[in-house]
Structures are given as C-alpha cells and as structure tokens.
Amino acid sequence: MLYAVNSTSSLFTIDKLTAAITLVGSVGFQNISALEFDPTTGVLYGAHAGGTTAGYLITIDVQTGAGTFVANTHRINGLAIDASGALFASENGLFAGSPNPLLSIDKLTGAWTLIGTINTGNVLGLTFSEIYAPIPFCFGDGSGLACPCGNNGAPGNGCANSVVATGGHLASTGTASIASDTLALHGSGMPDSSALYFQGTTTINSGLGTLFGDGLRCAGGSITRLGTRLNVAGASSYPGAGGASISVRGQVTSPGLRTYQVWYRNAAAYCTAFTFNLTNGLSVIWTI
C-alpha cells in the first residue's frame, strides 16, 4: 500500500497504477515531513521537522488516519526502518556540530543517537533497499549450541540424523505477503517418515535453540502446527497442492516476525533415546 500525507494533514492511499487517491482520514498533526512503515510491527510512523532544534515522532493509524504522539525528538526530514525494525533519520541542519547527520531514533522514547555525517548536500529522504528474505538460524553444525550427542550436521543444517549425516534442512520459496501469500516451506535431508511443519512467534535462546530429541528446537513462543507431511526421498513441502496457505493456517493477520521449523520422526536407534529430530530454523518477516 502506498501512503501519503498532504499539507492539510490528511492521510491518503495512492493507487500505484492510476495515481487515484483515497482519503483515509485526518492525521491531526501539521507539517509531517516524513513517513515510514515498520514491516516488523505493521506500524506507520510520521515525523515533524520542528523548528531549529526540535521535532516529534508520531504513529498513524492506517485504518482511520489518526495520529498519536510518541515523543519529542530531533528535527527530521527523512525516516527509514530496516528489516530488524531499527529506525533511522536524516536531518539537513546541525546536530551537535555535525551538518547533515544520520541518526538512529528510539521508536518508544524518541531519543536520538548520532551515527555520523552524511557528506553531501541537504538529505531530505531515506529508504532501505532490503528485501525481507527469510533468514535461516539455529544451526546444528557446531557453530552454536552443541547437538545432543555431538551429532553435528553440515553448515546451515540441523543436527545429523540416522539416515542423513548432514542433517535436516529447511528452506523456502515465494513471498511472505499477507495480501499475496506465495510462501512455501521445503524440508530436506530427513528420513522417509512423518514431518511436522510448525510456526512460532519468537526464537529460542536468542536464536541458538535448546536441546530437543536428537536435535535443537529453535522456533518458540506461540506455536501453531501447520501440517504433517510424509517425506519422500528425504524431502517434503508445506503447503501441499490445494492446501491452506501458510498465512491462513498460521493465522498471520498482521505484519511481523514468525519462525518456522520441521520436527520429524527418526525412529532408528541413534543418539538419544528419543525418536525425533529437527531441521534448522527459519525466520520470516511477514509484510502486508
């Protein structure tokens, strides 16, 4: 969705194909100099450039257009939020003796930190070119938490299992967009047995995971079981043909972080007395 605020403090959406506008509502704050959407939380931020030294940060309700004051901050001309949710700002005046500074801004308090000087003329806008590609994490390859029996897998995989010494691997294709969900999860390197694809809302142990069965459990928080698949030639995928999409099955209704993993059966006598193992984890940022 393309948003804009005009000089009369109204929030609009703009049709990308025709430039037709649709009024959302009044923001209630004048002279908003910058807008930026946070893909990790689904929050729209606005900034007021202020006078010679002061400005302020607001959030804007994308359903009603209403603005809410967050905090006073430095005068801002450009906002940008990266894939982690960190907020950055540009300003074309002086900050602590530094012309054209790049600042980091605390989204809760408005507190700013000088990063450095942008060595060019007045900087009026910022943006990131980042694509929110899924990020693998929590590897059973010895780079983080040790596997239960020293059964390390290959780099980027889960812990080794009785059939595949390199361990199970989780990857994805498609786009994690709520409005146009084409995300698919692909597990490989597993025995030809049942495999449960599941979703979490956080990582475990700062992304290092915790010992679980013959492997590491990486996805935590609120857990949703997406579905069980039967591996063929050591691999399977979710969703299957005609199945519910991940956003529907996982009840992903707002932008933000979700984590994914495959918990698969490994019944052979191997490693611990447990009869299961897991792939690496996959961190996904959903957008509108």
Higher pLDDT, 248 or 116: 248
* Tokens coding 166: 């390199």
| Measured distance CA(205)–CA(240) in Å, rounded | 31
Please answer whether residues 161 and 280 qualify as being in contact, where contact means their C-beta atoms are separated by less than 8 angstroms: no
* Tokens coding 226: 């997406």
Kindly indicate the confidence band of residue 265, based on its pLDDT and cuts at 50, 70 and 90: very high
* Helix H or strand E segment including 248: helix 246-249
What pLDDT does residue 73 have?
79
Please answer whether residues 186 and 170 qualify as being in contact, where contact means their C-beta atoms are separated by less than 8 angstroms: yes
What pLDDT does residue 94 have?
54
| Mean pLDDT taken over the chain | 88
| Measured distance CA(137)–CA(272) in Å, rounded | 23
* Tokens coding 14: 């703009």
Taken in order 8, 11, 14, 20, the sign of the CA dihedral is: negative
Residue type for position 94? L
Taken in order 223, 225, 226, 230, the sign of the CA dihedral is: positive
| Residue 3: half-sphere exposure toward Cβ, Cα within 13 Å | 24
Q: Which residues of 68-93 are buried (b: 16+ CB within 10 A; e: fewer)?
A: eebeebbbbbbbbbebeeebbbbbbb
248: phi then psi, degrees, rounded to nearest 5: -70, -50
Kindly indicate the confidence band of residue 23, based on its pLDDT and cuts at 50, 70 and 90: very high
| Measured distance CA(286)–CA(39) in Å, rounded | 7
- Residue that the structure tokens 């991940």 belong to: 246
Q: Which residues pair with 4 in a beta bridge?
A: 12
3 state SS of 225: strand
- Residue that the structure tokens 């989780």 belong to: 170
- The pTM for the full model equals 0.64
258: phi then psi, degrees, rounded to nearest 5: -135, 150
Task: Convert the pLDDT of each residue in 54-96 to its tens digit.
Answer: 778 899 998 899 999 998 877 787 888 887 788 888 875 655 5
Kindly indicate the confidence band of residue 173, based on its pLDDT and cuts at 50, 70 and 90: very high
| Measured distance CA(245)–CA(136) in Å, rounded | 20
40: phi then psi, degrees, rounded to nearest 5: -80, -20
